[in-house]
A and B are shown apart, each in its own frame.
Chain A
Protein backbone atom coordinates (compact mmCIF):
# COMPACT_ATOMS: atom_id res chain seq x y z
CA UNK A 1 0.00 0.00 0.00
CA UNK A 2 2.74 2.45 1.03
CA UNK A 3 4.70 1.50 -2.08
CA UNK A 4 1.62 2.18 -4.22
CA UNK A 5 1.17 5.62 -2.63
CA UNK A 6 4.85 6.36 -3.17
CA UNK A 7 4.58 5.29 -6.81
CA UNK A 8 1.50 7.47 -7.35
CA UNK A 9 3.22 10.53 -5.92
CA UNK A 10 6.30 9.85 -8.03
CA UNK A 11 4.18 9.47 -11.17
CA UNK A 12 2.33 12.71 -10.62
CA UNK A 13 5.06 14.94 -9.22
CA UNK A 14 7.86 13.29 -11.20
CA UNK A 15 6.39 14.57 -14.43
CA UNK A 16 7.83 18.09 -14.86
CA UNK A 17 4.82 19.40 -16.83
CA UNK A 18 2.34 18.24 -14.20
CA UNK A 19 4.55 19.48 -11.36
CA UNK A 20 4.96 22.97 -12.88
CA UNK A 21 1.21 23.15 -13.68
CA UNK A 22 0.34 22.27 -10.09
CA UNK A 23 2.77 24.81 -8.61
CA UNK A 24 1.40 27.57 -10.86
CA UNK A 25 -2.15 26.53 -9.97
CA UNK A 26 -1.29 26.54 -6.25
CA UNK A 27 0.13 30.04 -6.61
CA UNK A 28 -3.00 31.29 -8.39
CA UNK A 29 -5.22 29.69 -5.75
CA UNK A 30 -3.04 31.20 -3.02
CA UNK A 31 -3.56 34.64 -4.61
CA UNK A 32 -7.33 34.04 -4.88
CA UNK A 33 -7.54 32.96 -1.23
CA UNK A 34 -5.52 35.97 -0.07
CA UNK A 35 -7.58 38.42 -2.13
CA UNK A 36 -11.08 36.93 -2.15
CA UNK A 37 -11.27 34.49 0.74
CA UNK A 38 -10.83 30.75 1.29
CA UNK A 39 -14.09 29.57 -0.30
CA UNK A 40 -13.35 31.27 -3.64
CA UNK A 41 -9.85 29.79 -3.73
CA UNK A 42 -10.62 26.22 -2.74
CA UNK A 43 -13.35 25.90 -5.36
CA UNK A 44 -10.64 26.43 -8.00
CA UNK A 45 -8.57 23.64 -6.45
CA UNK A 46 -11.02 21.22 -8.05
CA UNK A 47 -9.04 21.60 -11.30
CA UNK A 48 -5.91 20.28 -9.60
CA UNK A 49 -7.91 17.37 -8.25
CA UNK A 50 -9.03 16.48 -11.77
CA UNK A 51 -5.38 16.55 -12.93
CA UNK A 52 -4.31 14.33 -10.03
CA UNK A 53 -7.18 11.86 -10.00
CA UNK A 54 -7.82 11.33 -13.72
CA UNK A 55 -6.74 8.02 -15.29
CA UNK A 56 -5.59 6.69 -11.92
CA UNK A 57 -6.06 3.05 -12.98
CA UNK A 58 -6.78 3.20 -16.70
CA UNK A 59 -3.34 4.56 -17.58
CA UNK A 60 -1.56 1.70 -15.83
CA UNK A 61 -3.93 -0.80 -17.44
CA UNK A 62 -3.39 0.52 -20.97
CA UNK A 63 0.40 0.88 -20.62
CA UNK A 64 0.89 -2.66 -19.34
CA UNK A 65 2.47 -1.47 -16.08
CA UNK A 66 -0.48 -2.91 -14.18
CA UNK A 67 0.27 -6.47 -15.30
CA UNK A 68 3.84 -6.21 -14.02
CA UNK A 69 2.56 -4.93 -10.67
CA UNK A 70 -0.21 -7.50 -10.36
CA UNK A 71 2.33 -10.30 -10.91
CA UNK A 72 3.83 -9.24 -7.58
CA UNK A 73 2.56 -10.45 -4.18
CA UNK A 74 -0.01 -7.72 -3.91
CA UNK A 75 -3.79 -7.97 -3.71
CA UNK A 76 -5.72 -6.08 -6.33
CA UNK A 77 -7.49 -4.13 -3.61
CA UNK A 78 -4.11 -3.08 -2.18
CA UNK A 79 -3.18 -1.66 -5.56
CA UNK A 80 -6.56 0.02 -5.99
CA UNK A 81 -6.76 1.58 -2.57
CA UNK A 82 -3.09 2.50 -2.79
CA UNK A 83 -3.94 4.55 -5.87
CA UNK A 84 -6.86 6.12 -4.03
CA UNK A 85 -4.74 7.00 -1.02
CA UNK A 86 -2.12 8.35 -3.44
CA UNK A 87 -4.64 10.74 -4.98
CA UNK A 88 -5.64 12.04 -1.55
CA UNK A 89 -2.02 12.38 -0.39
CA UNK A 90 -1.09 14.25 -3.57
CA UNK A 91 -4.11 16.53 -3.22
CA UNK A 92 -3.34 17.13 0.46
CA UNK A 93 0.21 18.15 -0.49
CA UNK A 94 -1.21 20.47 -3.14
CA UNK A 95 -3.58 22.07 -0.61
CA UNK A 96 -0.72 22.58 1.84
CA UNK A 97 1.17 24.40 -0.90
CA UNK A 98 -1.89 26.55 -1.64
CA UNK A 99 -2.18 27.33 2.07
CA UNK A 100 1.49 28.28 2.35
CA UNK A 101 1.23 30.59 -0.67
CA UNK A 102 -1.99 32.14 0.65
CA UNK A 103 -0.51 32.70 4.11
CA UNK A 104 2.70 34.22 2.73
CA UNK A 105 0.76 36.52 0.43
CA UNK A 106 -1.75 37.58 3.11
CA UNK A 107 0.79 38.10 5.88
CA UNK A 108 3.79 39.46 3.97
CA UNK A 109 3.29 40.30 0.29
CA UNK A 110 -0.11 42.07 0.20
CA UNK A 111 0.53 44.34 3.20
CA UNK A 112 3.94 45.27 1.76
CA UNK A 113 2.34 46.11 -1.59
CA UNK A 114 -0.53 47.88 0.20
CA UNK A 115 -3.12 45.86 -1.69
CA UNK A 116 -6.50 45.85 0.06
CA UNK A 117 -7.39 42.36 1.20
CA UNK A 118 -9.80 40.72 3.67
CA UNK A 119 -8.38 39.98 7.14
CA UNK A 120 -6.35 36.75 7.25
CA UNK A 121 -7.60 34.10 9.64
CA UNK A 122 -5.48 30.91 9.65
CA UNK A 123 -8.34 28.91 11.23
CA UNK A 124 -10.68 29.80 8.37
CA UNK A 125 -7.97 28.89 5.88
CA UNK A 126 -7.34 25.51 7.54
CA UNK A 127 -11.05 24.77 7.69
CA UNK A 128 -11.46 25.65 4.01
CA UNK A 129 -8.54 23.45 2.97
CA UNK A 130 -9.77 20.56 5.13
CA UNK A 131 -13.22 20.91 3.57
CA UNK A 132 -11.71 20.80 0.11
CA UNK A 133 -9.82 17.61 1.03
CA UNK A 134 -13.02 16.01 2.34
CA UNK A 135 -14.77 16.97 -0.91
CA UNK A 136 -11.93 15.25 -2.75
CA UNK A 137 -12.56 12.04 -0.83
CA UNK A 138 -15.86 11.48 -2.66
CA UNK A 139 -14.80 12.89 -6.02
CA UNK A 140 -11.70 10.66 -6.07
CA UNK A 141 -13.75 7.60 -5.12
CA UNK A 142 -16.11 8.27 -8.05
CA UNK A 143 -13.23 8.73 -10.49
CA UNK A 144 -11.47 5.65 -9.15
CA UNK A 145 -14.62 3.60 -9.72
CA UNK A 146 -14.97 4.74 -13.32
CA UNK A 147 -11.25 4.35 -13.96
CA UNK A 148 -11.41 0.64 -13.10
CA UNK A 149 -13.31 -0.12 -16.29
CA UNK A 150 -13.27 2.95 -18.57
CA UNK A 151 -10.21 3.71 -20.73
CA UNK A 152 -8.27 6.99 -20.81
CA UNK A 153 -10.12 10.04 -19.51
CA UNK A 154 -13.40 8.11 -19.52
CA UNK A 155 -13.47 8.44 -15.72
CA UNK A 156 -13.61 12.26 -15.83
CA UNK A 157 -16.13 12.26 -18.68
CA UNK A 158 -18.30 9.72 -16.87
CA UNK A 159 -18.29 11.81 -13.70
CA UNK A 160 -19.52 14.90 -15.52
CA UNK A 161 -22.01 12.85 -17.51
CA UNK A 162 -23.44 11.36 -14.31
CA UNK A 163 -23.57 14.80 -12.68
CA UNK A 164 -25.40 16.21 -15.71
CA UNK A 165 -27.76 13.25 -15.99
CA UNK A 166 -28.66 13.48 -12.32
CA UNK A 167 -29.49 17.18 -12.56
CA UNK A 168 -31.24 16.96 -15.94
CA UNK A 169 -34.38 15.04 -14.90
CA UNK A 170 -35.09 17.63 -12.20
CA UNK A 171 -35.21 20.34 -14.85
CA UNK A 172 -37.15 18.04 -17.16
CA UNK A 173 -39.54 17.16 -14.36
CA UNK A 174 -40.29 20.83 -13.86
CA UNK A 175 -40.68 21.45 -17.59
CA UNK A 176 -42.88 18.38 -18.17
CA UNK A 177 -44.76 18.90 -14.92
CA UNK A 178 -43.92 15.38 -13.74
CA UNK A 179 -42.82 15.96 -10.17
CA UNK A 180 -41.90 12.30 -9.58
CA UNK A 181 -39.11 12.58 -12.15
CA UNK A 182 -37.65 15.57 -10.37
CA UNK A 183 -38.01 13.86 -7.00
CA UNK A 184 -36.28 10.71 -8.25
CA UNK A 185 -33.40 12.74 -9.68
CA UNK A 186 -33.04 14.73 -6.48
CA UNK A 187 -32.92 11.56 -4.35
CA UNK A 188 -30.39 9.97 -6.70
CA UNK A 189 -28.27 13.11 -6.71
CA UNK A 190 -28.40 13.47 -2.92
CA UNK A 191 -27.32 9.87 -2.43
CA UNK A 192 -24.84 9.35 -5.25
CA UNK A 193 -23.19 12.76 -5.33
CA UNK A 194 -24.20 14.34 -1.98
CA UNK A 195 -23.15 17.88 -1.25
CA UNK A 196 -21.97 18.67 2.26
CA UNK A 197 -21.31 22.14 3.61
CA UNK A 198 -17.95 21.23 5.10
CA UNK A 199 -17.40 24.70 6.48
CA UNK A 200 -20.43 24.22 8.72
CA UNK A 201 -19.60 20.62 9.61
CA UNK A 202 -15.97 21.44 10.42
CA UNK A 203 -17.24 24.36 12.43
CA UNK A 204 -18.87 21.77 14.69
CA UNK A 205 -22.48 22.10 13.50
CA UNK A 206 -24.59 19.28 12.08
CA UNK A 207 -21.61 16.92 12.14
CA UNK A 208 -23.79 13.82 12.21
CA UNK A 209 -26.49 15.25 9.97
CA UNK A 210 -28.09 13.56 6.99
CA UNK A 211 -25.74 15.09 4.38
CA UNK A 212 -22.67 13.75 6.22
CA UNK A 213 -24.28 10.32 6.47
CA UNK A 214 -25.12 10.30 2.77
CA UNK A 215 -21.57 11.38 1.99
CA UNK A 216 -20.09 8.50 4.04
CA UNK A 217 -22.46 6.06 2.36
CA UNK A 218 -21.60 7.32 -1.13
CA UNK A 219 -17.84 7.08 -0.47
CA UNK A 220 -18.21 3.52 0.85
CA UNK A 221 -20.44 2.48 -2.06
CA UNK A 222 -18.11 3.86 -4.75
CA UNK A 223 -15.00 2.36 -3.13
CA UNK A 224 -16.68 -1.02 -2.68
CA UNK A 225 -17.99 -0.96 -6.26
CA UNK A 226 -14.53 -0.06 -7.55
CA UNK A 227 -13.00 -3.01 -5.68
CA UNK A 228 -15.71 -5.35 -6.95
CA UNK A 229 -15.21 -4.34 -10.59
CA UNK A 230 -11.42 -4.30 -10.35
CA UNK A 231 -11.22 -7.74 -8.74
CA UNK A 232 -13.36 -9.21 -11.49
CA UNK A 233 -11.65 -7.45 -14.36
CA UNK A 234 -9.37 -9.31 -16.75
CA UNK A 235 -6.18 -7.78 -18.04
CA UNK A 236 -5.40 -9.41 -21.33
CA UNK A 237 -2.81 -7.63 -23.39
CA UNK A 238 -1.09 -7.68 -26.73
CA UNK A 239 -1.42 -10.17 -29.52
CA UNK A 240 0.25 -13.56 -29.67
Chain B
Protein backbone atom coordinates (compact mmCIF):
# COMPACT_ATOMS: atom_id res chain seq x y z
CA UNK B 1 0.00 0.00 0.00
CA UNK B 2 2.65 2.52 1.12
CA UNK B 3 6.18 2.17 -0.22
CA UNK B 4 8.93 4.46 1.04
CA UNK B 5 12.23 4.02 -0.74
CA UNK B 6 15.48 5.53 0.48
CA UNK B 7 13.92 8.86 1.43
CA UNK B 8 16.18 11.62 2.70
CA UNK B 9 15.32 15.15 3.68
CA UNK B 10 17.33 18.01 5.16
CA UNK B 11 16.26 21.37 6.51
CA UNK B 12 18.16 24.61 6.81
CA UNK B 13 20.52 26.40 4.49
CA UNK B 14 24.20 26.54 3.70
CA UNK B 15 26.36 25.22 6.52
CA UNK B 16 23.48 24.74 8.94
CA UNK B 17 21.63 21.90 7.33
CA UNK B 18 19.95 19.35 9.57
CA UNK B 19 19.32 15.86 8.28
CA UNK B 20 15.72 15.13 9.25
CA UNK B 21 15.45 11.87 7.28
CA UNK B 22 18.40 9.81 6.17
CA UNK B 23 17.73 7.00 3.71
CA UNK B 24 14.47 5.79 5.21
CA UNK B 25 12.88 2.79 3.51
CA UNK B 26 9.78 0.98 4.66
CA UNK B 27 6.60 -0.64 3.45
CA UNK B 28 3.18 -0.56 5.03
CA UNK B 29 0.77 -3.24 3.91
CA UNK B 30 -2.88 -2.60 3.20
CA UNK B 31 -4.82 -2.89 6.46
CA UNK B 32 -1.71 -2.63 8.62
CA UNK B 33 -1.41 -0.25 11.56
CA UNK B 34 2.11 1.07 11.83
CA UNK B 35 3.47 3.02 14.77
CA UNK B 36 6.31 5.50 14.43
CA UNK B 37 8.40 5.65 17.57
CA UNK B 38 11.35 7.86 18.33
CA UNK B 39 12.59 10.70 20.47
CA UNK B 40 11.74 14.34 19.80
CA UNK B 41 13.43 15.58 16.65
CA UNK B 42 13.91 12.05 15.32
CA UNK B 43 12.17 12.78 12.02
CA UNK B 44 8.78 11.16 12.59
CA UNK B 45 6.75 14.23 11.71
CA UNK B 46 8.98 14.89 8.70
CA UNK B 47 8.26 11.36 7.52
CA UNK B 48 4.52 11.96 7.95
CA UNK B 49 4.87 15.28 6.10
CA UNK B 50 6.58 13.44 3.23
CA UNK B 51 3.84 10.79 3.20
CA UNK B 52 1.24 13.55 2.94
CA UNK B 53 3.12 15.48 0.27
CA UNK B 54 3.65 18.61 2.39
CA UNK B 55 7.38 18.15 2.11
CA UNK B 56 9.31 16.81 -0.88
CA UNK B 57 12.09 14.29 -0.25
CA UNK B 58 15.49 15.24 -1.66
CA UNK B 59 16.21 11.66 -2.60
CA UNK B 60 14.10 8.55 -2.85
CA UNK B 61 10.44 8.11 -3.63
CA UNK B 62 7.13 7.45 -1.91
CA UNK B 63 4.21 5.67 -3.57
CA UNK B 64 0.81 5.06 -2.06
CA UNK B 65 -1.27 2.46 -3.84
CA UNK B 66 1.19 2.81 -6.72
CA UNK B 67 0.51 6.54 -7.06
CA UNK B 68 2.24 9.76 -6.08
CA UNK B 69 1.45 11.01 -2.58
CA UNK B 70 -0.26 14.15 -3.85
CA UNK B 71 -2.46 12.29 -6.31
CA UNK B 72 -6.08 13.30 -5.74
CA UNK B 73 -7.11 9.63 -5.77
CA UNK B 74 -4.86 9.11 -2.74
CA UNK B 75 -6.06 12.31 -1.07
CA UNK B 76 -9.70 11.30 -1.50
CA UNK B 77 -8.94 8.20 0.55
CA UNK B 78 -6.84 9.89 3.21
CA UNK B 79 -7.70 11.09 6.68
CA UNK B 80 -5.12 13.19 8.50
CA UNK B 81 -4.87 14.57 11.95
CA UNK B 82 -1.91 16.88 12.60
CA UNK B 83 -0.21 17.26 15.94
CA UNK B 84 -0.84 20.99 15.88
CA UNK B 85 -4.49 21.46 15.05
CA UNK B 86 -5.06 24.57 12.95
CA UNK B 87 -8.68 25.55 13.24
CA UNK B 88 -10.78 28.51 12.19
CA UNK B 89 -11.71 29.17 15.78
CA UNK B 90 -14.74 31.28 14.91
CA UNK B 91 -16.33 28.21 13.31
CA UNK B 92 -18.67 25.97 15.23
CA UNK B 93 -17.66 22.34 15.63
CA UNK B 94 -20.44 21.27 13.27
CA UNK B 95 -19.48 23.83 10.60
CA UNK B 96 -15.83 22.74 10.85
CA UNK B 97 -16.71 19.09 10.23
CA UNK B 98 -19.16 20.02 7.46
CA UNK B 99 -16.41 22.07 5.80
CA UNK B 100 -14.03 19.09 5.83
CA UNK B 101 -16.76 16.74 4.64
CA UNK B 102 -17.36 18.96 1.62
CA UNK B 103 -13.61 19.37 1.03
CA UNK B 104 -13.19 15.60 1.02
CA UNK B 105 -15.68 15.42 -1.83
CA UNK B 106 -18.47 13.98 0.31
CA UNK B 107 -22.05 13.97 -0.92
CA UNK B 108 -23.50 17.37 0.14
CA UNK B 109 -26.89 15.81 0.85
CA UNK B 110 -25.29 13.55 3.47
CA UNK B 111 -23.37 16.31 5.24
CA UNK B 112 -25.62 16.60 8.28
CA UNK B 113 -25.77 12.84 8.90
CA UNK B 114 -22.05 12.24 8.37
CA UNK B 115 -21.08 15.15 10.61
CA UNK B 116 -23.40 13.99 13.38
CA UNK B 117 -22.15 10.42 13.09
CA UNK B 118 -18.44 11.34 13.09
CA UNK B 119 -18.93 13.68 16.05
CA UNK B 120 -20.96 11.13 18.01
CA UNK B 121 -18.21 8.56 17.58
CA UNK B 122 -15.82 10.84 19.46
CA UNK B 123 -18.36 11.73 22.11
CA UNK B 124 -19.26 15.20 20.79
CA UNK B 125 -22.97 15.50 20.33
CA UNK B 126 -25.85 17.95 20.20
CA UNK B 127 -25.23 21.40 21.62
CA UNK B 128 -21.44 20.96 21.69
CA UNK B 129 -21.38 20.98 17.90
CA UNK B 130 -23.19 24.32 17.86
CA UNK B 131 -20.47 25.95 19.95
CA UNK B 132 -17.55 27.81 18.44
CA UNK B 133 -14.23 25.99 18.41
CA UNK B 134 -12.61 28.78 20.41
CA UNK B 135 -14.72 27.69 23.38
CA UNK B 136 -13.54 24.05 23.16
CA UNK B 137 -11.08 22.59 25.65
CA UNK B 138 -7.83 21.03 24.43
CA UNK B 139 -9.29 17.55 24.77
CA UNK B 140 -12.41 18.49 22.81
CA UNK B 141 -10.28 19.97 20.03
CA UNK B 142 -8.30 16.74 19.84
CA UNK B 143 -11.53 14.79 19.62
CA UNK B 144 -12.96 16.93 16.84
CA UNK B 145 -9.60 16.59 15.10
CA UNK B 146 -10.01 12.81 15.21
CA UNK B 147 -13.62 13.14 13.99
CA UNK B 148 -12.36 15.27 11.09
CA UNK B 149 -9.70 12.68 10.18
CA UNK B 150 -12.14 9.77 10.25
CA UNK B 151 -14.93 11.54 8.31
CA UNK B 152 -16.17 9.29 5.54
CA UNK B 153 -14.17 6.28 6.81
CA UNK B 154 -10.96 6.83 4.81
CA UNK B 155 -8.79 3.91 3.67
CA UNK B 156 -5.66 5.65 4.89
CA UNK B 157 -5.25 7.34 8.23
CA UNK B 158 -2.27 9.44 9.21
CA UNK B 159 -2.40 10.42 12.85
CA UNK B 160 0.19 12.63 14.50
CA UNK B 161 -0.06 12.48 18.30
CA UNK B 162 -3.85 12.04 18.20
CA UNK B 163 -4.24 11.58 21.96
CA UNK B 164 -1.87 14.34 23.02
CA UNK B 165 -3.39 16.44 25.80
CA UNK B 166 -6.53 14.35 26.18
CA UNK B 167 -7.96 12.84 29.35
CA UNK B 168 -8.22 9.04 29.81
CA UNK B 169 -11.66 9.04 28.20
CA UNK B 170 -10.25 10.92 25.21
CA UNK B 171 -7.38 8.45 24.96
CA UNK B 172 -9.82 5.55 24.92
CA UNK B 173 -11.97 7.29 22.27
CA UNK B 174 -8.94 7.79 20.04
CA UNK B 175 -7.96 4.15 20.57
CA UNK B 176 -11.47 2.96 19.68
CA UNK B 177 -11.48 5.01 16.49
CA UNK B 178 -8.14 3.54 15.42
CA UNK B 179 -9.32 0.01 16.21
CA UNK B 180 -12.53 0.69 14.30
CA UNK B 181 -10.50 1.87 11.29
CA UNK B 182 -8.38 -1.28 11.57
CA UNK B 183 -11.43 -3.50 11.72
CA UNK B 184 -12.73 -2.14 8.43
CA UNK B 185 -9.35 -2.70 6.78
CA UNK B 186 -7.93 0.83 6.80
CA UNK B 187 -4.18 1.38 6.75
CA UNK B 188 -3.09 3.50 9.69
CA UNK B 189 0.19 5.30 10.32
CA UNK B 190 0.38 6.52 13.89
CA UNK B 191 2.97 8.82 15.37
CA UNK B 192 2.72 8.85 19.14
CA UNK B 193 4.82 9.09 22.25
CA UNK B 194 2.20 7.15 24.20
CA UNK B 195 3.89 3.78 23.90
CA UNK B 196 1.25 1.82 25.77
CA UNK B 197 -1.40 3.07 23.35
CA UNK B 198 0.84 2.37 20.36
CA UNK B 199 1.27 -1.17 21.58
CA UNK B 200 -2.45 -1.64 21.99
CA UNK B 201 -3.39 -0.61 18.46
CA UNK B 202 -0.38 -1.18 16.22
CA UNK B 203 0.52 -4.31 14.28
CA UNK B 204 4.07 -3.13 13.86
CA UNK B 205 6.28 -0.32 15.08
CA UNK B 206 9.36 1.24 13.54
CA UNK B 207 11.92 3.11 15.58
CA UNK B 208 13.29 6.29 14.07
CA UNK B 209 16.25 8.14 15.45
CA UNK B 210 18.23 11.00 13.92
CA UNK B 211 16.41 10.48 10.66
CA UNK B 212 17.25 6.81 10.39
CA UNK B 213 14.98 3.82 10.72
CA UNK B 214 16.79 1.84 13.38
CA UNK B 215 14.48 -1.03 14.15
CA UNK B 216 11.18 -2.64 13.21
CA UNK B 217 9.16 -4.78 15.59
CA UNK B 218 6.11 -6.80 14.70
CA UNK B 219 3.65 -6.79 17.58
CA UNK B 220 0.89 -9.13 16.45
CA UNK B 221 0.46 -12.48 14.78
CA UNK B 222 2.88 -15.33 14.22
CA UNK B 223 5.65 -12.99 13.12
CA UNK B 224 5.44 -11.04 16.37
CA UNK B 225 8.78 -10.12 17.89
CA UNK B 226 9.67 -11.23 21.38
CA UNK B 227 7.16 -10.35 24.03
CA UNK B 228 7.27 -10.31 27.76
CA UNK B 229 4.43 -12.13 29.44
CA UNK B 230 3.34 -12.13 33.07
CA UNK B 231 1.38 -15.17 34.23
CA UNK B 232 -0.22 -14.89 37.65
CA UNK B 233 -1.12 -17.97 39.62
CA UNK B 234 -2.14 -18.45 43.28
CA UNK B 235 1.01 -17.64 45.37
CA UNK B 236 1.01 -21.08 46.98
CA UNK B 237 1.16 -22.72 43.52
CA UNK B 238 4.13 -20.73 42.18
CA UNK B 239 6.61 -23.55 42.66
CA UNK B 240 4.23 -26.05 40.99
CA UNK B 241 3.81 -23.64 38.11
CA UNK B 242 7.58 -23.17 37.71
CA UNK B 243 8.01 -26.93 37.63
CA UNK B 244 5.37 -27.34 34.95
CA UNK B 245 6.84 -24.58 32.82
CA UNK B 246 10.36 -25.99 33.20
CA UNK B 247 9.08 -29.38 32.09
CA UNK B 248 7.48 -27.73 29.05
CA UNK B 249 10.82 -26.05 28.25
CA UNK B 250 9.59 -22.53 28.96
CA UNK B 251 12.02 -20.29 30.84
CA UNK B 252 10.47 -18.19 33.56
CA UNK B 253 11.34 -16.10 36.61
CA UNK B 254 9.35 -15.40 39.71
CA UNK B 255 8.29 -11.78 39.76
CA UNK B 256 5.87 -10.25 42.27
CA UNK B 257 3.81 -12.46 44.56
CA UNK B 258 2.20 -15.20 42.49
CA UNK B 259 3.54 -13.80 39.24
CA UNK B 260 5.88 -15.50 36.80
CA UNK B 261 7.66 -13.57 34.08
CA UNK B 262 8.20 -15.32 30.75
CA UNK B 263 10.96 -13.54 28.87
CA UNK B 264 11.30 -13.36 25.12
CA UNK B 265 8.09 -15.22 24.45
CA UNK B 266 6.13 -15.34 21.26
CA UNK B 267 2.35 -15.42 21.37
CA UNK B 268 2.49 -19.17 20.70
CA UNK B 269 4.82 -19.75 23.64
CA UNK B 270 2.55 -17.80 25.96
CA UNK B 271 -0.37 -19.95 24.81
CA UNK B 272 1.74 -23.08 25.39
CA UNK B 273 2.60 -21.91 28.91
CA UNK B 274 -1.06 -21.36 29.77
CA UNK B 275 -1.94 -24.77 28.37
CA UNK B 276 0.83 -26.46 30.41
CA UNK B 277 -0.40 -24.80 33.60
CA UNK B 278 -4.01 -25.70 32.89
CA UNK B 279 -3.10 -29.34 32.17
CA UNK B 280 -1.11 -29.38 35.44
CA UNK B 281 -4.22 -28.15 37.24
CA UNK B 282 -2.61 -24.83 38.27
CA UNK B 283 -5.23 -22.03 38.10
CA UNK B 284 -4.16 -19.16 35.85
CA UNK B 285 -5.51 -15.97 37.39
CA UNK B 286 -4.14 -13.52 34.85
CA UNK B 287 -2.03 -13.40 31.70
CA UNK B 288 -0.54 -10.17 30.44
CA UNK B 289 1.56 -10.11 27.31
CA UNK B 290 3.28 -7.03 25.99
CA UNK B 291 6.11 -6.06 23.71
CA UNK B 292 7.55 -3.74 26.37
CA UNK B 293 7.96 -0.93 23.88
CA UNK B 294 9.42 1.33 26.50
CA UNK B 295 12.25 -1.11 27.07
CA UNK B 296 12.77 -1.58 23.34
CA UNK B 297 12.79 2.19 22.97
CA UNK B 298 15.54 2.42 25.60
CA UNK B 299 17.45 -0.45 23.96
CA UNK B 300 17.30 1.28 20.58
CA UNK B 301 20.89 1.37 19.18
CA UNK B 302 21.34 5.12 19.38
CA UNK B 303 19.82 5.55 22.83
Is B182 an interface position by the 8 A CB rule?
A: no
Assembly CA distance A234 to B49 (angstroms): 9
**When A71-B75, A73-B72, A234-B55 are in contact, do A240 and B86 touch as well, CB less than 8 Å?**
no
Q: Which residue from chain B places its CB closest to the CB of A2 in the assembled complex?
A: B102
Could you tell me if A238 and B45 are in contact, using CB atoms closer than 8 angstroms? yes
Interface size on B, residues (CB 8 A): 42
Q: Which residue from chain A places its CB closest to the CB of B53 in the assembled complex?
A: A70
Could you tell me if B86 and A64 are in contact, using CB atoms closer than 8 angstroms? yes
Could you tell me if B88 and A10 are in contact, using CB atoms closer than 8 angstroms? yes
Min CB gap B149→A, angstroms: 9
Q: Is the interface of B mostly helix, strand, loop or mixed?
A: loop
**Chain B residues within 8 Å of A10, by CB:** 88, 90-91, 95
CB-contact partner of A64 in B42, B43, B53, B82, under 8 A: B82
Report B283-303 CB contacts with A as 1/0, cut-off 8 Å. 000000000000000000000
Interface size on A, residues (CB 8 A): 27
Q: Which residue from chain A places its CB closest to the CB of B88 in the assembled complex?
A: A11
Is A118 an interface position by the 8 A CB rule?
A: no
Could you tell me if B54 and A235 are in contact, using CB atoms closer than 8 angstroms? yes
Assembly CA distance A238 to B164 (angstroms): 14
Could you tell me if B84 and A238 are in contact, using CB atoms closer than 8 angstroms? yes
Could you tell me if B45 and A3 are in contact, using CB atoms closer than 8 angstroms? no
Could you tell me if B41 and A237 are in contact, using CB atoms closer than 8 angstroms? no
Is A74 an interface position by the 8 A CB rule?
A: yes
Report B211-245 CB contacts with A as 1/0, cut-off 8 Å. 00000000000000000000000000000000000
Could you tell me if B82 and A14 are in contact, using CB atoms closer than 8 angstroms? no
Could you tell me if B11 and A239 are in contact, using CB atoms closer than 8 angstroms? no
Assembly CA distance A49 to B103 (angstroms): 27
Could you tell me if A68 and B38 are in contact, using CB atoms closer than 8 angstroms? no
Min CB gap B78→A, angstroms: 6
Closest 3 pairs between A and B when the two form their complex, measured CB to CB: A64-B86, A65-B86, A71-B80
19 A-B Cβ contacts within 8 A?
A: A10-B90, A10-B91, A10-B95, A14-B90, A14-B91, A65-B87, A65-B88, A66-B86, A67-B52, A68-B148, A72-B100, A234-B55, A235-B49, A235-B55, A238-B83, A239-B45, A240-B39, A240-B43, A240-B45
Name 5 extra pairs, CB < 8 A, besides A73-B73, A74-B75, A236-B49: A10-B91, A11-B90, A74-B72, A234-B56, A237-B49
